[in-house]
Amino acid sequence: MQNETAEGEAWTALERGEAMRLDALFEAEPDRLQRLVIEHAGIRFDFSKTHLSREVLESFERLAEARDLAGAREALFTGAMVNPTEGRAAEHSAGRGQGAPDSVSLAQALHLRMRALIDAIEAGAFGPVRHILHVGIGGSALGPDFLIDALAREGGERYEAAIVSNVDGIALERATAGFDPQTTLLVIASKTFTTLETMLNARSAIAWLAEGGVADPYGRIVALTASPERAVEFGIDETRVLPFPESVGGRYSLWSSIGFPAALYLGWDAYESLLEGAAAMDRHFRYSPPMRNAPLIAAFADRFYANVRGCETRAVFAYDERLRLLSSYLQQLEMESNGKSAKLDGSPVGRASAAIVWGGAGTDAQHAMFQLLHQGTHSVPVEFVAAIEPGHRLDEEHHRQLLINCFAQGAALMAGKASDDPHRSYPGDRPSTTILLDRIDAATLGALLAFYEHRTFANAVLLGINPFDQFGVELGKEIAKAMDDGADLDFDPSTEALIARAFGEEA
């Protein structure tokens, strides 16, 4: 009861707090840069252009204490059951060496198994391999896709890789169009090894291998799964099945065997650097005090804008082509984790939970979306992500203009510009966070993705929800399976009409 009272008081203080403009905050708090810029693991997090005043942060610190965020964080890192609706721990950080000793030992053993298989592939155990065709969906695809795309130049001379997730056959046709079946390694990633989209794509990929003259298609498959027995039943040799624990959720699974295609494509040293970068952020989140803790400050900002300012969305813009898939990655991580309406005890959340995440790549996004951000009626917190070191060898003016545009947008959102002409007036006072990486490499990306994971977890703790289940994705899939099985279901008239139109069946 005492914690509930403290929690209610913290929310009341936040909701009744005085609203100050950003420019006024900089005047009132000349130390904002010192307090609200945090540097760690090669990343600079600048929260100074948010409305997190000293008083707001103090209220959030009291809220975190009332919600026992420190205890929840320790439970996460020590392998306690933090996913009660499924009766599991959430042990993705064990793959980075941060977790219960037994879980860390298991993760290390599974990594050794993965490395041994990569060594065997590179030694010719699968015959010549030039192409990697990875089939998965959701967390089984988004992480490897993001990492390979971001670091493509580091592994492009070794292999060509394609990640296929969409069940639309066009996706698989496009992926295989430039591949030679004789030199293609097929990777099937599915936690349960029953995911409909993945297994359909897998069967079609196997048929493509056979049609291409591969005598033993199953001999060119690697399976990544938490259900190894199903992969063996599917026909894959157990020596080519890389398991991961049930306690590792799909959208948190890049650090497990789901990271195999990235480790193969980039090389094991790069994958180890990824793990080390993530571990550095784990330690920062676990041990840093609240007011110097980047994931926690980010979560405070998320809660402030969603629950105090009523912002329904958050925009993420990567001012680096190598990070173009970041917003897609974050959409699943944040919205699948925290898009909930019930607390852990089953009671209603009673507040907005996850913001709707959207975004794109700068500078393209400036010419598509920034009109709304600068002059629209929606209030949208913006996140800019950029890197100091360029990823190309062209004239340095390219990167200079990219960064100048990034920094200018944040300044313009805050400052605005008054005009007698309402069509040329910019209200300003629009918040943004800037995340500036020293460079884009495996270690820094590991730290960045771990930052977003911990931010997501901290948001969940502040709201009292479980970020590790995802029952909301199941209902549509259940109905689709029932339709596919020909079950006699009483669909609404609209759905019945769509079925009749699409499949030529009687409504």
Could you list the active site residues? Answer: 336, 367, 477
CA dist., res. 48 & res. 105, Å (int): 40
CA dist., res. 487 & res. 481, Å (int): 9
DSSP classification of residue 289: -
Do the beta carbons of residue 431 and residue 304 sit within 8 Å? no
The distance from CA 172 to its chain's CA centroid, rounded to whole angstroms, is: 23
CA dist., res. 107 & res. 113, Å (int): 10
Alpha helices (H) along 288-425: 294-303, 326-330, 337-338, 370-375, 397-415
Torsion of CA 84, 142, 459, 387, to 10 degrees: 150
CA dist., res. 380 & res. 365, Å (int): 15
Q: Identify how many contiguous H helices and E strands the chain contains and give both numbers.
A: 21, 11
User: What SS3 state is found at 382?
Assistant: strand
Give the CA radius of gyration of the chain. Answer: 24
Peptide bond into 495 cis (omega under 30): no
The Cα-based distances of 91 to 101, 244, 304, 383 in angstroms read 11, 10, 29, 28
For the chain, the first-to-last Cα distance in angstroms comes to 55
Buried b (16+ CB within 10 A) or exposed e, 441-473: bbbbbbbbbbbbbbbbbbbbbbbbbbbbbbeee
CA dist., res. 370 & res. 337, Å (int): 27
The Cα-based distances of 480 to 195, 216, 271, 483 in angstroms read 13, 33, 37, 5
Token look-up 């192409």 returns 131
* Residue 123 burial (CB count, 10 A): 8
